[in-house]
Amino acid sequence: MDTFDEMRLGNQIRPPYNAYASWFERQDAERLRIKSEDAEKVFRRTGITFAVYGDPEAAERLIPFDIVPRILSGKEWRLLVQGIEQRVRALNAFLYDIYHRQEILKAGRIPTDLIARNKAFVPEMIGVRPPGGVYTHIIGVDIVRTGEDEFYVLEDNARTPSGVSYMLENRETMMQLFPELFQKIKVLPVENYPQLLRDSLAAARPDGCKGSPTLAVLTPGSFNSAYFEHAFLADQMGVELVEGQDLRVVDGRVAMRTTQGYKTIDVLYRRLDDDYLDPLTFKPDSILGVPGIMDVFRAGNVAIANAPGTSIADDKAIYSYMPEIVEFYTGRKAILRNVPTWRCAEPESLSYVLDNLEELVVKEVHGSGGYGMLVGPAATKEEREAFATKLKAFPSNYIAQPTLALSTCPVLTEKGLAPRHVDLRPFVLVSDQIKIVPGGLTRVALKEGSLVVNSSQGGGTKDTWVLDD
């Protein structure tokens, strides 16, 4: 496949990389190697790790960090911002609609069964309006690029998107290692994200909250794969990090245990899934959530970010209807395109997918982290045959997409710069306004030729620079 190289166009350096390329040519290879080792030491010393479920040999891993930044021009970023804002507004409108009047279903733009039989749909949210009408307070939109002006949304992360701590630590590490670069090149800042997050959460406080709201981050605990990020964000925002056992319902409000008794919480940034949030409403055997918190939420006495029921927006079958969703709620065509998607629940689509597995990427509709998917071109004949059996047994559990020629960015190797495939996860904050920090988390497939960028599958990260131009 022809691949768009974000640094080079033929033999020419693309404009966003001009200043960096000029600097790089003057660098000693040994110095860069040492700097790369220094970066790993910083991450190890800081404790920036993630857990790998089912891998007792490596329960805690460092995400490999590449010291060559991914660089976007201001013009490229402004195009992305327009498309992301449009998409986020449509997602919130869609969530409000399906839990209220369901106009999009009545209009026949989305099959009713896709909602009614979706395990991510939360009937307990029907008729419930979150504070401010906001369902998705924090969203991570995964974007891939295939050409100069060709950007696609790969998926929407509207449940509990992770990775923002790596975006922040990547930038801080780069500024420590190469301060001269930031003096030479004007890069828009991302360091204010924790304050923006705090402000955005505070703006989502319940209507009855008087004065400054009390915020807290709810974590499943230290065994969660993203626990570092939960603790990091709580610390950066200056709020409490709590577990379910620290909380209880007191006089119709959610309160956390302190040395001075129980203190009311107004806004809870939760980092656990719906099923574990309230054992009185969802999984009765959950010890991670707070008994009765859904009653408090429905009464409008606590804001939960993101709101229960938002995970249906992560569903990859719902994703396939996003062009219709965007147009239905905004009245305009989507600025950012979807990747063409076959819904395996549809017999004709299933037949096509089974006949073309060697060319397609097949994903579980509720999957994440690169698990449960088949990358057809990279799979063996035996792997494709085994996956075909699962497809036939549970077709509604899968969607399929073409194998895109993801753009490449340079990474530092022993032989110098080499292209590797990347994606981008910008982080969006929604309250009374939409805020997007300039950049995001660039994930990179470090293995030559690989298209899988997920950290759980061996991918790494880069600092993402948006130029001030």
Q: What is the mean pLDDT of residues 147-171?
A: 94
Please write the tens of the pLDDT for every residue from 384-440: 999 999 999 999 999 999 989 999 999 999 889 999 999 999 999 999 899 999 999
CB 43 within 8 A of CB 169: yes
- The pLDDT of residue 382 is above 90: yes
How many residues are present in the chain? Answer: 469
CATH code of the region 342-402? 3.30.1490.270
Rounded to an integer, what distance in angstroms lies between the CA atom of residue 126 and that of residue 132?
16
Please write the tens of the pLDDT for every residue from 393-408: 999 999 999 989 999 9
Give the pLDDT score at 349.
96
Q: What is the mean pLDDT of residues 300-306?
A: 97
Which residue, among 297, 369, 406, has the nearest Cα to 50 in the 3D structure? 369
Is residue 378 classed as helix, strand or coil in its secondary structure?
A: helix
* Phi, psi (rounded to 5 degrees) for 37: -65, -40
Give the number of other CB atoms < 10 A from CB of residue 55: 11
Residue 1, token pair as written in the block:
């496949």
Residue 334, token pair as written in the block:
């989507």
Which residue, among 267, 37, 235, 243, has the nearest Cα to 131 in the 3D structure? 267
Is residue 46 classed as helix, strand or coil in its secondary structure?
A: helix
Give the pLDDT score at 160.
87
Burial per residue of 185-218, b for 16 or more beta-carbon CB atoms within 10 angstroms, e otherwise = bebeebeebbebbbebbbbbbbeebeeebbbbbb
Q: What is the mean pLDDT of residues 74-87?
A: 97
The rounded percent of the chain whose pLDDT value lies above 70 is: 96
- The pLDDT of residue 56 is above 60: no
Which residue, among 29, 4, 15, has the nearest Cα to 152 in the 3D structure? 4
Please write the tens of the pLDDT for every residue from 440-456: 999 999 988 888 787 76
Residue extents of the structural domains in the chain: 8-338+404-466, 342-402
- The pLDDT of residue 49 is above 70: no
Give start and end residues of each alpha helix (H) in 135-184: 164-177, 179-184
Which residue has 């690989």 as its token pair? Answer: 450
Give the pLDDT score at 450.
83
Rounded to an integer, what distance in angstroms lies between the CA atom of residue 261 and that of residue 163?
34
Confidence of residue 203 (pLDDT cuts 50, 70, 90): very high
Confidence of residue 343 (pLDDT cuts 50, 70, 90): very high
Rounded to an integer, what distance in angstroms lies between the CA atom of residue 172 and that of residue 440?
13
Q: Is 259 exposed, middle or buried (0-12, 13-18, 19+ CB in 10 A)?
A: exposed
Instruction: Report which DSSP code applies to 335.
Output: S
Give the pLDDT score at 366.
81
Which residue has 């010291």 as its token pair? Answer: 67
Residue 391, token pair as written in the block:
């497809």
Q: Is 399 exposed, middle or buried (0-12, 13-18, 19+ CB in 10 A)?
A: buried
Confidence of residue 458 (pLDDT cuts 50, 70, 90): confident
One-character DSSP codes across 71-100: EE-HHHHHHHHHHHHHHHHHHHHHHHHHTT
Rounded to an integer, what distance in angstroms lies between the CA atom of residue 101 and that of residue 104?
9
Element (H, E) at 398: strand 398-402
Give the pLDDT score at 62.
78
- Residues in contact with 450: Cβ distance below 8 Å, sequence separation at least 6, in sequence order: 378, 420, 421, 458
Residue 392, token pair as written in the block:
């036939």
Rounded to an integer, what distance in angstroms lies between the CA atom of residue 312 and that of residue 131?
19
In whole numbers, what is the pLDDT of the chain averaged over residues? 93
Which residue has 């800081």 as its token pair? Answer: 46
Amino acid, res. 286: S
C-alpha neighbours within 13 Å on the C-beta side of residue 365: 27
What is the distance in angstroms between the CA of the first residue and the CA of the last residue of the chain? 32
